[in-house]
Structure 1
Amino acid sequence: MKSENSQFDIIVIGGGATGCGVALDAASRGFKTLLLEKNDFASGTSSRSTKLLHGGVRYLESAIKHLDKEQYNLVKSSLRERYLLIQNAPHLCHKIALLTPLYKWYEIPYIFTGLTIYDLLSGKKTLGRSKIISKKRAIKEFPSLKKDGLKGCVQYYDGQFNDMRMNITIAKTAERYGAKLLNYTEVKDFIKENGKIKGVIFYDKIEDKNKEAFAKVVINATGPFTDTIRKLDNPHCEEIMQVSSGIHIAVDKSYAPRNEGLLIPKTEDGRVLFILPWEDACIIGTTDEPAEVDEYPKAKEKEIDYLIRHINMYFDVKVTKDDIKSVWSGLRPLVKNSSTNDTASIVRDHYIKISESNLVTITGGKWTTFRKMAEDTINYIIPHFKLSPKNRCITEEIIYYGSEGFDENYKNKLLESNYFDKEILNHLIKNYGTKTEEIIHIAQKENLGDKLLESKPIILAEIIYAIRKEYARKPLDFLVRRTSLAETDLNSAKKALDTTVEIFSKELDWDNETKNNVKAEALKILSDAI
């Protein structure tokens, strides 16, 4: 007999941006929702992005050149979603100025016109108007820029965000609306009646046992792993994914100004590259290489060489491999296009399909459009499964966890307090928003106000908060996905591991064998690929 605790309206498989977005949309419409994630939330593609909320400058150029309405509409929709995220999660999302350096006179009107169209597509939701910047001013704003032959720059605005923390924030917001979200729970099989899916069998890695859950609808939102779940349903189904890898490298923050990034408009293979300030580093990316699906994809040497080669075409201060503080690779969940094998040319629109056994698959898309993808998915399944929502979609208006009551006044009030120095307070505010006070409370009550590392503003209380409030179950959940430490400074993450393991062990009551095994696993991942 099915227990009430195992019966749901909707089960979502996958705890990245898309899966958590679907769980939020479903729960906020009144559906009893369960989300299952094989590893940690944002442990895949969703924590390995370029950290930009954007419409896609490259897609707009392609849309205009080829009169492609599909790409045009994708850019326009993405710009609207960019605006909504900055409005509804202001502690994690903000606008950023981007310079495009140009070394030929004819490029200036071409790029300026294109970016002006980009602005116009935003309508009233624009973040600022594009403008031409002189060589002198460009060098002042971006001192490391190559000066020889520079004619000028075009400056435009896009959105920047903290992807890993945004993923956790979406999960916490879904929880606020009643969703149940479980990480480290791997779906092993589907439960079927008369050939139709009625539930799932999943393995709880923490409790080390198999469990069952039942639902009217099961949604596959596993990104690059989409075909793996589809084949669990039907081993003979045709694969629909064409995965590609995109790597990023982190170097010292001195390579980029604090509040401005660089867009390299065209590489040797027709891509764009971004050089961006990120936390206390500068990140550079990305590449586009065909890839195999892997939980921990490794950056290839030729991808690293590609980035360094292109950076050094635009920098006077040369970057070498010795300057790299961290490197990571993410997998793009691209839907196959029968007319091309070139992953760089595939449109990043989303794809929804229902199998013969009623498995719903949502895939494709990009970070910026996760909310729209979720809305379209729930809109699609309501009539198909004859579901009865309690209300319409409200995710356009939802203020995300940590942004309730967040504004400049709140921020300034905290900064004027004497809880910690301004560096620590700024770090807490931009990562936790209005939940900063909960971390301060833990720090004061439990004497956990010390820094995790002397050179970083992260404090010990954040580890406890991550365990108690943000689903952290293992040390790397904190070092890689609740903070950006491993992505910006891998050696510092390794130095912080011992202290982090000790706090996890004490809070979760691990025995010595468990503690040693967890530490060994974490060291291997940090040494191989995060």
Structure 2
Amino acid sequence: MGLLDPATSDGRIIFFLPWEKMTIAGTTDSPTSVTAHPIPGEDDINFILREIRNYLSPDVEVRRGDVLAAWSGIRPLVTDPDSKDTQSICRNHIVSISDSGLVTIAGGKWTTYRSMAEETLDAAIKAHGLSAAPCKSVGLTLEGGKGWTPTLYIRLVQDYGLENEVAKHLAATYGGKAFDVAKMAQVTGQRWPIVGKRLVSEFPYIEAEVLYAVREYACTATDVIARRTRLGFLNVQAADEALPRIVQIMGKELDWSEEKKTEELETARKFLYLEMGYRSRAEQLTKTTEINLDTQEVARYKKRFHKFDKESKGFITTVDVQQVLESINVQIDENALHEILNEVDLNKNGQVEIDEFMQLMSAVKKGQTAEETLDKRGPVTVDRSGGGF
């Protein structure tokens, strides 16, 4: 179910749409300069965040760090050459025929492509007296649509040993062509799934899709993360993590040199950074609480972090954090701890990495200092329920 409301603070529409198990939140267009690479502005992102908070429960906290990807596009608005009003702007598509007989279609949007195709072809047939029947776009099945059924994914699970989630994704994305992708999937070496190595653990995209994309004429890593898969639109950090493997697969298939691989990796990351709202971890950290620890404290907390990160995974859990705090005799109300973790867990993965841990300990120190200052002024009640100290 989607939601749309025009009653925003500045009159622009706000909408929520479910997509690929995520939620797209956005707004309508505003004037912009023409560029080949439209960039989502921080002002627009923050506007959307402010507005959507009005529709969510008070206990649902939305931060800039919760934005997994952000993008914008340029919508073409054209002037109808046949209109008497030369200033008239059309928000839909226009089909026009010049004196020389050239048929032109301009404007429009992806969601009306069948209607646009039909009107254009019918105009060409009529203008030039072509011996052809009217356009049959409505009756044409998309590539992969033949033989598709809602339960097709079950065959992928049974015949190839794909994960259920991966099989559903392939069937919904490629239709009958999903079997071609499954045939390219490599053996995992695990008991289950038998085939289908994921590009990133939390998304159903598999390595075989990169290979299939190349054989369907994908030439760049950016194409793969943005259009052949939708990873760049769903989670820019996940896309960034998948890029080295994507470039490796493409490089082998297309015989790229090491220089070419490096170029593709840098170009794709630039795309994520500039056009998909990707802010690096360093940038995000500068927006949060300033780390206020001296050299000895940093060394001590690093030692404790690595003590609990026994398998050197690069992160510890919330339970580990509580044990660390107990080991240094710091007691924090669960609600207060939640508030602090909510601030420092920038990539929203429930795992506390070393830089996030330092942010947390800095916040704890700041809270303790504030409490000690209050205590010197006389008897006080310290309320930690809201995350303060």
TM-score (ref. length: structure 2): 0.62
Q: How far apart are residue 355 of structure 1 and its match?
A: 4.1
Partner-residue secondary structure (3-state), 1:298: coil
Partner of 2:134: 392
Partner in structure 2 of residue 494 of structure 1 = 240
Does residue 200 of structure 2 align to residue 453 of structure 1? yes
Instruction: Give the drift of 1:380.
Output: 1.3
Q: Secondary structure at the match of 1:294?
A: coil
**How has the CA–CA distance of structure 1 residues 405 and 268 changed in structure 2, closer, same or farther, with 3 Å as cutoff?**
same
The answer to whether the Cα contact below 8 Å between 1:486 and 1:493 also exists between their aligned partners in 2 is yes
1:484 to 204, 227, 230: 230
Q: Which residue of 1 aligns with 2:324?
A: none
Alignment partners' CA distance in 2, 1:496 and 1:429: 22
Cα separation, 2, equivalents of 1:449 and 1:415: 11
- Taking the aligned partners of 2:115 and 2:234, their CA distance within structure 1 comes to 30
2:149 is aligned with 1:419: no
| Distance in 1 of aligned mates of 2:136 and 2:99 | 30
Give the number of the structure whose alpha-carbon radius of gyration is greater. 2
| Superposed displacement of residue 417, structure 1 | 4.8
Deviation for aligned residue 1:328: 0.5
Q: What is the letter of the counterpart of residue 304 of structure 1? A: I
State the shift of 1:505 in Å.
Answer: 0.8
Is it true that 1:263 corresponds to 2:4 in the alignment?
yes
Alignment-derived partner of residue 503 in structure 1: 249
Q: How many residues align?
A: 266
For the aligned residue pairs, the C-alpha RMSD in angstroms reads 2.7
Equivalent position amino acid for 2:77 in 1: L
Between the aligned partners of 2:86 and 2:274, the Cα distance in structure 1 is 33
Q: Distance in 2 between matches of 1:412 and 1:306?
A: 43
Q: 1:378 to 1:445 in 2, by over 3 A?
A: farther
Deviation at 1:374, TM superposition (A): 1.1
1:410 counterpart letter in structure 2: L
Q: Match for 1:297 among 38, 63, 74?
A: 38
2:225–2:239: 8 Å Cα contact kept in structure 1?
yes
Are the counterparts in 1 of residues 156 and 162 from structure 2 also a CA contact under 8 Å? no
Q: Determine if contact 2:165/2:204 at 8 Å carries over to the other structure.
A: yes
Secondary structure at 1:333 match in 2: coil
Please point out which of 258, 264, 279 is paired with 1:518. 264
* Structure 1 contact 287–307 (Cα < 8 Å) conserved: no
Instruction: Check the 8 A contact 1:479/1:485 in 2, yes or no.
Output: yes
- TM superposition shift of 1:501: 0.7
Task: Give the AA of the match of 2:197.
Answer: D
SS in 2 for 1:353: strand
Instruction: Quickly say closer, same or farther: Cα 1:413–1:505, change in 2 above 3 A.
Output: closer
Q: Which amino acid aligns with 1:450?
A: K
Residue matched to 1:527: 273
CA contact (8 A) 2:166 2:204 kept: yes
Structure 1 gap segments, 5+ residues each: 1-96, 98-260
**Deviation larger for 410-419 or 478-487:** 410-419
1:432 and 2:179 are equivalent in the alignment: no
For residues 445 and 484 of structure 1, what CA distance do their matches in structure 2 show?
24
How much has 1:495 moved relative to structure 2? 0.9
**Structure-2 separation of matches of 1:418 and 1:462:** 15
Aligned partner (choices 71, 91, 113) of residue 370 of structure 1: 113
Counterpart pick for 2:28 among 277, 287, 292? 287
TM-score under structure 1 length normalisation: 0.46
- For residues 31-430 of structure 1, the aligned pairs below 5 Å read 97=1, 261-316=2-57, 317-336=60-79, 348-355=91-98, 359-389=102-132, 391-417=133-159, 419-430=161-172
- Letter of the 1:318 partner, please give it: E
- Structure 2: stretches of 5+ with no match in the other structure: 190-194, 277-389
The Cα of 1:406 is off from its aligned counterpart by 1.0
Match of 1:474 among 215, 220, 225: 220
Matched-pair identity in % = 39
Q: Equivalents in 2 of 1:266, 1:320: separation in Å?
A: 22
Cα distance in structure 1, aligned partners of 2:33 and 2:246 = 32
